[in-house]
Chains A and B, each alone.
Chain A
């Protein structure tokens, strides 16, 4: 029942929204992973980012796609919690807890999804922050890479949705969403090198954008 609801939401609400009202402009979509296990990292500007990415991945892959999201934000109110876990299908991670508790590592839920051949969406900025500006990436992705050294990490640079629906705004204004997919990162690298590779790859993708920053 829940799966049907989720599929219907993505087919009849997210897809028309992304195709007609907003519109996505994907470069090199062939670099996106076609099957799990895989990790996609993207910069974060808006709540719509996750819908745009899931829409581009397609309804066929919807079952295995799980975005990582902040438990301290999405798991608070009842309706929000239901929507986030049941419809969007998030993996809730508490941003404040960084240590093992009761023998369970905070990243364990992500590992479980990856072990079950899932595609995990990760926004390593950790927050939407200022729209259309990239914050520093958190190193959580490097920890996941260390746990799963053979799973590809695909970087995706996203632009435009921060203008359409930035943090703290309720009015949706139509804008195109640009999505530039990069080559998978080398997940065998050490933490520092992996983070450097990630940010340089993101900077390269961002440089494809002809426009100056949004001010």
Chain B
């Protein structure tokens, strides 16, 4: 537990407190305004509980626990992607290599091997998977198959593995804000704080967007891709996420106020872009969601859509500003 700064612990506890509050609110609503169907939202909150519990537990054990957690998330997301997209029967072996690539990618993240982490999928796998494909000798549908597989690897493994790398990234040590006792842990183990910041911003951005969109939203951002997303929801989400980042950032991460605002703004904008990308993908595949792994949410890919672009961007922002 020594690797978790007390601010990080407080943040984790407040997440559980928030979940408990939403449970209470739902209970009151069900008690006094019966008649509406709350099954979806009930399942959704219950799944949030499970996710938050497993995530906190993994993080409490060690930073490596968090790496394993996200490795597993990558595996589930890749499986959903490949099960829902058309693949060629001849490529079964190639798909197997794609699954295997999760292990080295997360290993490089856990051992802070920056160079290998960056090149493993976009350079090595980029060359190896199509090579293994031509070896099989089926030209029909090659372009689609290779494109689908590499795109799947990029969004489900490469992007998401940046979340895990945040946990082991060494940062420069001369940071001097916050109460004295906390500085030591926070600057020696900045990872958990950074990771929680990223996920908290990405997920609350969703909630803010939904809330603002419900209350004030009129004009849709993209009626053909995601009818539920509106401009006012988007703007409201970005503003509130940026504000929240200004509060949370300086507390649990090495970032100062200005950088926290920038990071919050970035995560909100790019998170939205990633989310809509997954929506477009679902339109193309003619599915409503990627399976039923997370009751109330759909599949894992439905949940991590807001991380696919924001995780690498936030990671490189931190790396650029603070790497030792």
Chain A positions within 8 Å of B, measured between CB atoms, are 23, 25, 131, 160, 163, 166, 169, 171, 173-176, 210-212, 214-215
Contact = CB atoms under 8 A, between A and B. Distances in A.
B182 interface: no
B14 interface: no
A160 B92 CA distance: 12
Contacts of A173: 92-93, 95-96, 99
Nearest to B94: A173
B285 A210 contact: yes
A174 B287 contact: no
A173 B88 CA distance: 13
Q: Determine chain A's interface SS by DSSP, over half rule.
A: loop
B259 interface: no
15 contacts: A23-B293, A25-B291, A160-B83, A169-B92, A173-B93, A173-B95, A173-B99, A174-B99, A175-B82, A176-B79, A210-B286, A211-B84, A211-B85, A211-B86, A215-B89
Interface in B141-168: 141
Contacts of B293: 23
A215 B91 CA distance: 10
Contact of A131 (B79, B89, B95): B89
B87 interface: yes
B275 interface: no
A214 B79 contact: no
A160 B85 CA distance: 12
B87 A25 contact: no
A175 B89 contact: no
B95 to A, nearest CB: 5
A163 B89 contact: yes
Contacts of A171: 92-93, 96
B283 to A, nearest CB: 11
Given A171-B92, A171-B93, 19 more contacts: A23-B76, A23-B79, A23-B83, A23-B293, A25-B291, A131-B89, A163-B87, A166-B89, A173-B96, A174-B79, A175-B82, A176-B79, A176-B83, A176-B84, A211-B86, A211-B285, A212-B86, A215-B88, A215-B141
